[in-house]
Amino acid sequence: MPYDYEKDGAAIYRQSFATIRAEADLARFDANDEPIAVRMIHAAGMVGLERHLRFSPGFGATARAALARGAPVLCDAHMVSEGVTRRRLPARNDVICTLRDPAVADLARGGGTTRSAAALELWRPRLAGALVAIGNAPTALFHLLNMLEDPACPRPAAIIGCPVGFVGAMESKAALWADQPAPCCIVEGRLGGSAITVAAINAIASRAE
């Protein structure tokens, strides 16, 4: 065999998280947020990502409590919803992405917006107390913020706002951080994406590494 490499999955995880904790500057994260930050760094393969992570006070504790109560996880993209490790969820929580609902195309045309944004209109019946995870579409995060400007709109328990990209991603996350309609976490700037968002959900769902 020309290549010798670590074959024990559990050992790979242990070494990975030990490396992150040895190399990343995690001092500013509290005990609830630190495991979330570590998993997000792991998903990105990027020590240094922690400099771009922002957690509002109480985010980790609030999000965990919501899942423990059975709150659904509302996802903007199927890359996010499919990445959630169901066995980690504490209450067999529903993981929902409405992007492929047949009503979405008409909602998008009628509203003059993207399908990713329009799909959030179908969240309204499940939005109260939910964990929201936006990891792909800046338009979805902007639409959510506009929805939450209405006092009659149900409020989620917590928001993971990590859309990625060059148009609107930085601005939508800055807007979430400025408004904070619910406890939230963001990755500042253009960084983000589905894998990082899934990592945050899985870390919230269970502290097990």
CA-based end-to-end distance of the chain: 30
Give me the catalytic one of 42, 52, 78, 143: 42
Give the Cα-Cα-Cα angle 31, 158, 109 (nearest 5 degrees): 145
Per-position DSSP letters for 67-135, written without gaps between them: HHTT--EEESSHHHHTTS-GGG-TT---EE--TT-TTHHHHHHHHTS-HHHHGGGGGGGG-TTPEEEE-
Per the annotation, the verdict on 42 as an active-site residue is: yes
Per-residue buried b or exposed e for 53-90, using 16+ beta carbons within 10 Å of the residue's own CB: bebbeebbbbbbbbbeeebbbbbbbebbbebbeeebbe
Residues in the chain: 209
User: For the sheet containing 53-55, what is the strand order?
Assistant: 53-55, 184-187, 158-161, 131-134, 73-75, 95-96
Contact 91, 69 (CB under 8 A): yes
Active site (catalytic) residues: 42
